[in-house]
Amino acid sequence: MKMIKFFRQHKFFFFIIAALALGLMGGVAGSWLAKSYLFDSSYNLAAGDYSAQGLVISNAKNVIVQQDAKIDETVNSAGASLVGIYKKQKLAKPAGGGFAAENFYKISEAAAQGFIITADGWIVTAFPLAKNYNDYVVIGGDKKIYPIERAASDSLTEFNFIQVAAEGFPVRKLAENWEIKRGSLAIGVNQAGLSWISYVKGFSQKKALLKSSDGYAEKLVLNDKVPAEFTGSVIFNLAGDALGLVGGSGEIEPIAHLKSAARSLFLNKTAARPYLGVNYINLAELAPVVETVDFPQKGAVIYRDAKGVAVQKNSPAEKAGLREGDIIVSVGKVDISKENNLANIIQDYLAGDKIILSYWRGTEKKEAEAVLGELK
């Protein structure tokens, strides 16, 4: 009787306990049902709290499959812009006629590979062909054989250009340096049909502080060392845009470095490079010991090299009146900065172009017009 009386006096308290117990049981059951039937078990978010980031993963497996399919699509489409370069075969006359292996090019045994950069047959390659291009032919993915009609060496890179008589060659977009993002996928493709995957690490810079207005300072760097079989191959992004070319040393030349030479080839049939003729230090790579508002924080200060040369004799820069100590702050409408160094800006022009240089001489702002020469 005492127990019954106790429950009657405290029935509200026991009601609260029962409600909490039922709620807890419902939560456990709901969680079990959700895990068992409602969520895809192919991924696990238990490693971190993503709610604050608004992250929703509907199907992780599908994401991976889609990326794999996109990589395969990129490799196949990019491969169409690669060609093989072969030593010319001399026809043999086998005894008794019939088949002779010497009368065929072995597709898997190319002397080198090339990358198509124009629809009318200009090709870039790491293979040195400037002097002996008549001894080689080009074979495309359709096995059509093209004699090489002309060749030109690039004075700034280790690459060479050749042209064959063709129309409608498949070309890829050549990415600008600013379009190449750190951490993005990089796909190496060679003419043999092999592919290799890495990620963009960034751009390396020459450690020397002093630079020339007529040479590139950076290379494209990936997370992994380029395998030997990809020497001379092309690096693409997932969209199929060309990012860089692998040279004989394994370094990757950003594809944007070839645009000036390619435009010159298209217009003048020669790979002429523009030439200004100064040595400089990019102020973006320096920090003043004492802050001052009187000295520019950005620009290219003309500075002498180990031989004591700041402005080359008879150069376009000397003819424009530039001298040691001048600080070039812009070329045309493009300001010189950490991302836009003087050499890269100059190489966006063609030999013979007129440019306007804005610069400081002491505390006086000046302008000069220069006609770019041809780099020899």
pLDDT tens-digit series, residues 31-80: 554 444 434 433 333 333 333 333 343 444 444 456 678 888 888 888 89
Rounded Cα–Cα distance for residues 243 and 241 (Å)? 6
Rounded Cα–Cα distance for residues 308 and 36 (Å)? 77
Task: Report the Cα–Cα distance between both ends of the chain, in Å, rounded.
Answer: 113
Q: What is the pLDDT of residue 269?
A: 80
pLDDT digits (tens, 9 = 90+) for 344-364: 999 999 999 999 999 999 989
Closest CA relative to residue 45, chosen from 263, 312, 53, 37: 53
- The domains spanning 177-268 and 274-374 adopt the same CATH topology: no
Highest mean pLDDT: which of 29-33, 149-153, 283-287, 301-305?
301-305
Question: Higher-confidence residue: 91 or 125?
Answer: 125
Q: Cα 69–73–78 angle (5° rounding)?
A: 150
Rounded Cα–Cα distance for residues 291 and 232 (Å)? 47
Q: What is the pLDDT of residue 262?
A: 85
Of 34-43, 161-170, 225-234, the poorest mean pLDDT is in 34-43
Dihedral sign (CA 159, 163, 168, 169): negative
Please give the CATH topology (third level) of the domain spanning 177-268.
Thrombin, subunit H (2.40.10)
The tokens 């969209």 sit on which residue?
Answer: 239
Residue 324 has pLDDT above 80, yes or no: yes
Of 36-45, 75-84, 95-104, 166-175, the poorest mean pLDDT is in 36-45
Phi, psi of 181 (to 5 degrees): -100, 140
Please give the full DSSP string across 252-307, using - where no structure is assigned: EEEGGGGHHHHHHHHHHSS---EE--BEEEEGGG---SS--SSS-SSSEEE---TT
Q: What is the pLDDT of residue 70?
A: 84
Rounded Cα–Cα distance for residues 298 and 363 (Å)? 15
Residues 139, 113: contact at Cβ < 8 Å? Answer: no
Residues 84-109 have a mean pLDDT of 81
Residues 153, 266: contact at Cβ < 8 Å? Answer: no
The tokens 């845009």 sit on which residue?
Answer: 241
Q: What is the pLDDT of residue 282?
A: 93
pLDDT band at 205 (very low <50, low <70, confident <90, very high): confident
Question: Higher-confidence residue: 231 or 52?
Answer: 231
Q: What is the pLDDT of residue 268?
A: 82
Which superfamily is assigned to 274-374 in CATH?
Answer: PDZ domain (2.30.42.10)
Q: What is the pLDDT of residue 51?
A: 35
Q: What is the pLDDT of residue 142?
A: 85
Percent of the chain with pLDDT over 70: 80
Q: Can you tell me whether residue 197 is helix, strand or coil?
A: strand
Domain edges within the chain: 177-268, 274-374
Q: What is the pLDDT of residue 56?
A: 41
Residue 331 has pLDDT above 60, yes or no: yes
Q: What is the pLDDT of residue 376?
A: 84
